[in-house]
Chains A and B, each alone.
Chain A
Amino acid sequence: MKFARLVVAVWLCGSMAGVTAQTEKPPTPAAAPGEAPAEAPAEVPAELPAGPPPEEQVPDADAIDEAAIDADIASQELSGDAKVRLDAARDAVVQIRGFFDTSESSAFHGSGFAVDDGRRIVTNYHVVAQAVLYPRQYRLEYLASDGRTGPLRVLAIDVRNDLAVVAADDLALPPLKLRSEIPAQGERAWSIGFPLNLGLTITEGVANGLVENSIEQRIHYTGAINGGMSGGPALDTRGRVYGVNVSVVTGRQLIGFVVPAKHIPALLARAKQPLDVSLSAQQLRQRVTAQVFAYEAEVLGAQPDTAATQSVRGYTLPTQISRHVECSTVDEPSPHVRVRVETVSCWIPARIRVQAGVSVAGLSMQHRILQSMGLHPQQFERQVNRLAAAPLRAGASAHVAPFACRDGLVSLDGFDARISTCVRQYRLFAGLYDFDVTVVGIDDAQQALVSRLALQGVGFESGKRTMERYLGALQWTP
């Protein structure tokens, strides 16, 4: 729940000179502003004792001594440990850089580290995504700690867990050891990488266990992770890799996420049969699509234990059409003073990033029940039509094709409705579709249901199944 609302994630793959920051809006606009003030002040004071206190803030001599000594002790202890970790891992970490065509300056960069026999390098899928999707246009290179550089090729990808295995023919580095169990909450942890192209950097923080209620596993790391550190190792107190740096929450304080290392062995096993270099770009994209399908079958298809619905003003509204759906009743501003709106909002955030700026396998549902408070039927009608046409759809013409639509008056369970279904295809991934279904109840001149189901980046069949389940669950009982 918290995770889902907070997904304003920066994906750490640095682009050109900086960070690619993609901001995903929280699915419930009303919920986000309420959280911001509660969090920001809570985080800031917690960090203050750790660092040396600024001089001008200290008023009297006694306090100076105590605070300075405390800080001194604390910083010596921390920096000593971090130095040990960094020195032990330095040779195993490489910077992964992507180049456009024959260009000499990098288009994007991230981090990676050697595992297994030292010939395999683990990084994030999103670091190498451009090279996977446009193999003719982008090439990858590594930059090792001793200054060596050379070409890299991608052996295996795991889109769902945002992992990839790459290798270079001539490169053998001292490998890092993996730790498959999740660190306990509060365990000290470090992250290593190349933030913003500033050179090898280690940051210190605390592992906060697995993120609750999230579909794909992520470890919550309270520490600095910045663009360019993607794919770098996250180390525990013994120097073992417990995960891979993957993302942060922007606009908040030190909330980072790490992919658990337990997903790495399976990927390494797959890397034994490397992605054939002769595969066409289209086939590579199909591989990516197939992984999205597998994820989505699990997420959209996961039937809840009990078919959860919510009753509002005689309407039975589907809420948990999959076990992973989260819902909330939103207090939405009404479009008109004399129209009352009750909104039930449900969603599965789209968190599989197949390409920079393209997240797929998401679902969002808004049921709005509008009641006329003394409006003339024609005036009410206008409000209903406006609200039905209002939702803003996100999509860039670089990534998706235009919608194809179909509308009709249909008898649903207990009421008549106009259903408008719009479907569009992804330009790069022929198997992925966006669905946009708008249902408007048309029986009653004083009360109307305006419901919308939006699926983001799903297969056509699974999208249609989800849509059928959604339409089948809508019901009205007088």
Chain B
Amino acid sequence: MLIEQTDPHGHRVLRQRFEGVGTECRVGRDLGCDIVVDDDHAASQHALLTLLEDGRVSVQDLGTRNGTRVDGDRVPADAGAVIEQGEIIVGRTRLRVRTRHTPIGPERVFRREFVRRHRTMLAAAGVSACIAYVGFLQWLDAPSSMLRSVITAVLVALGLIALWTGLWALATKLNHGSWHVRVHLTIASIGAAFCAWGYWVAGLLAYAAQWSGLVQVGVAVAGVVALLALYLHLREATHYGRRIALSLAGAATLVIGTVAWIISIGVDDGNVNRVDLGPDVRLGAGRVVPNRDIADYLAGVDKLQLAAGRERQKSLLNAPLADAGD
């Protein structure tokens, strides 16, 4: 049988193997016990585990006041219990017991092997893509001192990525005992690069197709990338399983997205001077949709009268005129 002791956070602190039929294992605070627990809620001689002939384990409580529990159920003081596997609780200490009867699942394929194997290269590529995007934005502005503005912007971007990576690495260190910096750097930098370039490309496509909605699609894609990155960070840094990690990441993305949305709505709603000019123009660039005829366009302008009327109704509902009786 294999006995693993875990601390209240689920971390393994001890691992011991016992062999031979009839082998006994005493658990308690007494130094003479086979497994010594530093637990005020345990008795000096608390429980006795015996390896039976058929490979199973008998658990007996040695007359303690707090008792011994197996998988949550208290072991009867007189009878004891026989188990193939399970969690034994002594005081507040948890002991996981495994015998040869415990079923062993098939070998799990290591899915993130590619990321792990190429983590240096991927991290470098992600960071480069982020730097390239920031530099590109600065270049678009055509500043008077290109070098200075690019260096400033790149330093800010690198600082943000470093901070984010550092926080996740710290979480990993606390949970797993090692930092995994390169893996987190890969996830963070590639995620950021995807978001930035994706949004830029969405703007290009929105102009080419003359559909402002594509910019919203770009925002949605950025949201999905953020969700994925959060999920990977969580999986790397914590013990959470897939489902919990995914729902945590989803909840975080949802909360952040909702807050951003509410803020933008609040800003837009109060602003009667905001105009929507449509997607940014690309001078002399190719487009998917053909030009409209001026008469067509003006016919569309007629519909604005209705739309403006609706905006007025909304505005009157939100803030009625002083003498609303009329």
Interface residues of A, Cβ cutoff 8 Å to B: 134-137, 280-282, 336-338, 375-385, 388-389, 392-398, 400-412, 416, 418-428, 430, 433, 436, 438, 440, 442-445, 448, 460, 464, 467-468, 471-472
Most-contacted residue by chain A among B276, B278, B311 (CB, 10 A): B278
How far is A375 from B144 in the complex, measured between Cα atoms in Å?
12
Minimum Cβ distance to chain A for residue B134 (Å)? 15
Given contacts A381-B282, A428-B321, A467-B301, contact A416 B291 (CB under 8 A): yes
How far is A50 from B306 in the complex, measured between Cα atoms in Å?
60
In contact, A408 and B321 (Cβ under 8 angstroms): no
Minimum Cβ distance to chain B for residue A221 (Å)? 34
In contact, B281 and A385 (Cβ under 8 angstroms): yes
In contact, A407 and B323 (Cβ under 8 angstroms): no
- Nearest-neighbor residue (CB-CB) of B287 within chain A: A409
User: What sequence of 0s and 1s flags, for each residue 288-318 of chain B, a beta carbon within 8 Å of any chain A beta carbon?
Assistant: 0101111001101111110111111011100
Select which of B139, B282, B298, B309 is within 8 A of A425 by beta carbon: B309
Given contacts A410-B293, A410-B294, contact A281 B326 (CB under 8 A): yes
B322 contacts A by Cβ under 8 Å: yes
In contact, B276 and A405 (Cβ under 8 angstroms): yes
Residues of B within 8 A of A424 (CB): 272, 308, 311-312
In contact, B273 and A395 (Cβ under 8 angstroms): yes
How far is A231 from B113 in the complex, measured between Cα atoms in Å?
86
B19 contacts A by Cβ under 8 Å: no
User: What sequence of 0s and 1s flags, for each residue 113-150 of chain B, a beta carbon within 8 Å of any chain A beta carbon?
Assistant: 00000000000000000000000000111101000000
- Nearest-neighbor residue (CB-CB) of B283 within chain A: A445
Given contacts A337-B144, A442-B282, contact A464 B308 (CB under 8 A): no
How far is A389 from B300 in the complex, measured between Cα atoms in Å?
22
In contact, B308 and A282 (Cβ under 8 angstroms): no
Residues of A within 8 A of B266 (CB): none
- Nearest-neighbor residue (CB-CB) of B282 within chain A: A381
Residues of B within 8 A of A282 (CB): 326
Given contacts A134-B322, A401-B311, A404-B311, contact A410 B291 (CB under 8 A): yes
Residues of A within 8 A of B276 (CB): 403, 405, 407, 420, 422
How far is A440 from B283 in the complex, measured between Cα atoms in Å?
10
B105 contacts A by Cβ under 8 Å: no
Residues of B within 8 A of A384 (CB): 281, 283
In contact, A436 and B281 (Cβ under 8 angstroms): no
Select which of B274, B300, B304 is within 8 A of A402 by beta carbon: B274
Interface residues of B, Cβ cutoff 8 Å to A: 139-142, 144, 210, 212, 268-278, 280-284, 287, 289, 291-294, 297-298, 300-305, 307-312, 314-316, 319, 321-323, 325-326
In contact, A403 and B283 (Cβ under 8 angstroms): no
In contact, B294 and A379 (Cβ under 8 angstroms): no
In contact, B272 and A403 (Cβ under 8 angstroms): yes
Minimum Cβ distance to chain B for residue A211 (Å)? 31
Minimum Cβ distance to chain A for residue B100 (Å)? 69
In contact, B291 and A404 (Cβ under 8 angstroms): no
How far is A467 from B283 in the complex, measured between Cα atoms in Å?
24
For this complex, 22 residue pairs linking A to B, each with C-beta atoms less than 8 Å apart, are: A281-B326, A375-B142, A380-B283, A381-B281, A381-B282, A381-B283, A382-B141, A384-B283, A397-B319, A401-B311, A402-B268, A402-B271, A405-B276, A411-B292, A411-B293, A418-B278, A420-B276, A423-B308, A424-B308, A426-B312, A433-B308, A464-B298
In contact, B308 and A404 (Cβ under 8 angstroms): yes
Residues of A within 8 A of B298 (CB): 464, 467-468, 471
Select which of A402, A419, A467 is within 8 A of B311 by beta carbon: A402
In contact, B305 and A423 (Cβ under 8 angstroms): yes
Select which of B280, B300, B303, B314 is within 8 A of A401 by beta carbon: B314
Given contacts A405-B277, A420-B278, contact A280 B315 (CB under 8 A): no
- Nearest-neighbor residue (CB-CB) of B142 within chain A: A379
In contact, A442 and B280 (Cβ under 8 angstroms): no
Residues of B within 8 A of A426 (CB): 312
How far is A393 from B312 in the complex, measured between Cα atoms in Å?
18
Residues of B within 8 A of A419 (CB): 297
Residues of A within 8 A of B303 (CB): 406
Residues of A within 8 A of B305 (CB): 423, 433, 460
Minimum Cβ distance to chain B for residue A308 (Å)? 21
Residues of B within 8 A of A395 (CB): 272-273
In contact, A411 and B294 (Cβ under 8 angstroms): yes
Minimum Cβ distance to chain A for residue B322 (Å)? 5
Identify the 6 closest CB pairs spanning chains A and B, nearest first: A407-B278, A404-B307, A401-B312, A401-B315, A393-B273, A405-B276
In contact, B281 and A440 (Cβ under 8 angstroms): yes
In contact, A442 and B273 (Cβ under 8 angstroms): no
Minimum Cβ distance to chain A for residue B295 (Å)? 10
- Nearest-neighbor residue (CB-CB) of B323 within chain A: A136
Given contacts A375-B142, A382-B140, A442-B284, contact A405 B294 (CB under 8 A): no
Residues of A within 8 A of B144 (CB): 337
How far is A381 from B282 in the complex, measured between Cα atoms in Å?
6
Minimum Cβ distance to chain B for residue A448 (Å)? 6
Select which of B212, B291, B304, B319 is within 8 A of A423 by beta carbon: B304
In contact, B277 and A389 (Cβ under 8 angstroms): yes
Minimum Cβ distance to chain B for residue A284 (Å)? 9
How far is A397 from B321 in the complex, measured between Cα atoms in Å?
11
How far is A433 from B308 in the complex, measured between Cα atoms in Å?
9
- Nearest-neighbor residue (CB-CB) of A136 within chain B: B323
